[in-house]
Every structure is written in structure tokens, then in C-alpha cells.
Structure 1
Amino acid sequence: MATVIRLQRGGRKKRPFYAVVVMDSRNRRDGAFIEKVGYFDPCKDPEVIELDMEAIKKWTDTGAQVSDRVAYLIKQSSKA
């Protein structure tokens, strides 16, 4: 099974909220996920990024790919 760490959209119209999830790459964006490893709220000022870095490391070590946006969020959260 090819796994990917990516964003899953939630929230209402014009007020997005994203969960950072591990899922099968063949599932649709808001489909079933394996594990929730964090969240991202772009509507707050400043943006809120909460990530479980240990879980992300565990999944990447087992072969999960990280999406471009999640890689950017990991980089941003490590700066703070």
C-alpha cells in the first residue's frame, strides 16, 4: 500500500481548516485516513500549525511520501 501524508480539508465555506493525515494515496482527498498526525488552521492570525513530529518520522521511515504542502508546514513548524 502506497501511503502519503497530506492535508484533509474541513471547515465551512471560505473558512478552511486542515487535518494532516496519513492515508492510502489512492483515496480521495477527504476520504478515509489511517492516522491523524496534526492540524493546520490558516484562518487564525498567526496561522496555527500543530504536528506530531514523532508520528510523521515513523511514517516517513516506513516509506510514506510527504506532499509538497505538508513538507512546507513541517519546515515552518521546525523554525518556530
Structure 2
Amino acid sequence: MATKIRLARGGSKKRPHYSIVASDSRMPRDGRYLEKLGTYNPLLSKDSEDRIRMNVERVQYWLSQGAQPTDRVSRMLEAAGVLPKKERANLKKGTPGKKAQERVAARAEKAAAAEAPAEEAAAPAEEAATAEE
């Protein structure tokens, strides 16, 4: 049986509350689970003690049994010190999209075009100043 440690959503619309559960990976997200391991309330402030509550011993038990945590749960476990930190590299995330790159290029062209006439107008003024001397 493929076991996962994941979040099961509860709470009403726009007021989420999650349970951290160990479940069979074939079960639905909010469906049947094997054991409830903790809770996560994203509405609380990040420094609140009640934001994430976990039974660490049971989490370690399920990890020893081969349960795979989801990405979000693994980040919580890394913050709690249960799992070592993974190296994550999403190099594409920081780059702007195609349209944004086009807008930047157009803005750069416009700025270059605006500076070119200003430089041409400044050059005759400099020549006139040197001729007067």
C-alpha cells in the first residue's frame, strides 16, 4: 500500500483548516485516512504556536513505514526539524513571462529613442559653447 502524509481540507468556504493525515494514496484528498497526525490553520499568524500542531513521534513512525510526505507537508516537517532540508531549484520561477519580457524590451527601445534626440540636441549646444570661448 502506497502511504502518503498529506493535508486534508476542512472548514468552510474561504476559511480553510487542514488536518495532517497519513492515508492511502488512492483515497480522495478529504476521504478516508489511516491516522490523523496533526492540524494546520493557515489563517493564524506565522509566529503562532497553534498554526501547525503535529504528533512528531507518529509522523516519524509513518516515515519509517515508508510513507511519503507531500511537498507542503515536507516543508512543514523540515521547519520542525523532522526531515533534513532539501535543495530546491526552480530556476524558471524567477524569470518574467513572455509578455513581460516584450514590455521590457519595448520600454528599453523607447528609452533609447528618447535619449538619442536629447544627445543630438546637447551636441550642438556644446559646440556653440566651445566656439564662444
TM-score, scaled to structure 1: 0.91
Larger Rg: 2
Aligned length: 78
Greater share of helix residues, 1 or 2? 2
Runs of 4+ in 1 over 4 A off after TM superposition: none
RMSD between aligned alpha carbons? 1.1
Find the counterpart in structure 2 of residue 33 from structure 1: 33
Residues 12-57 of structure 1, C-alpha deviations (whole Å, 9 max, x = no match): 1111000000000000100000000000000012350001111010
Q: Which runs of 5 or more residues in structure 2 are unaligned?
A: 82-133
Aligned to 2:5: 5
Letter in 2 for 1:31: G
Matched letter for residue 72 of structure 2: R
User: Are 1:21 and 2:24 counterparts?
Assistant: no
**Structure 1: runs of 5 or more not aligned:** none
Normalised TM-score (structure 2): 0.56
- 2:79 matches 1:76: yes
Deviation at 1:73, TM superposition (A): 1.1
1:53-78 CA distance string (max 9 Å, x none): 11010011011111100011112234
